[in-house]
Structure 1
Amino acid sequence: MLDGTGQCLEQGMSCALMLVLQAVTPILAAPSTIDFDLKKIDPTKSCGGGSSREIVVCGSRGDDERYRLQPLPSGDFEAKPIIARTGVIDGVTGDMHVESKTLGPGVVSNRMMIRLTKSF
């Protein structure tokens, strides 16, 4: 805020910046009109008409486009171990992995390992 002498009383943001932000608000243009009317479309040409109380939705797709979700290409996403490895600093990489070891009859140790390696 400005006091009577024209100095800014606010501590966080300068008054000049606040005034500029208010002055630069964009003037929105009037929305353009869209020439689209469903009354102009003749539904009997493509899929036959329904009664006046029905909503007719029609379309055709080929056998390979029948469903919106297509099957994934084979071979691209085969099950394989996930390796979470990244560079930490120059010459040092870090990775995380899990492992499971059998310690004795009926005793399994599940571990999450974090490994840092430095190349020489």
Structure 2
Amino acid sequence: MKPVLMILLQAASAAPQVTTECDGDSSGEIVVCGTRPGRSRYRLPILPKTYESKLPKAEMEIAPGLKAAVKVDSVELPGGAKSDRVMIQIGTKL
């Protein structure tokens, strides 16, 4: 539940401030008014030239000093069969 709460708090802090100086009409059209701080408040940040395909860690703290992580693994069994596994690890150091 913690990651969801953090994402919501980040989204709320980055949201534009609502002003009362916005004129909307009554045609059912949605009008969004607001301002963002900074010099280039209407521009998106420049993306990096290269993309790193890096998987995020599926890990979280479940109690003070205790972490849980989820990992996937694949092992070939005798006879050519393949075993795909999902492992859950719980410990102090992962």
TM-score (normalised: structure 1): 0.35
Q: Which has the larger radius of gyration?
A: 1
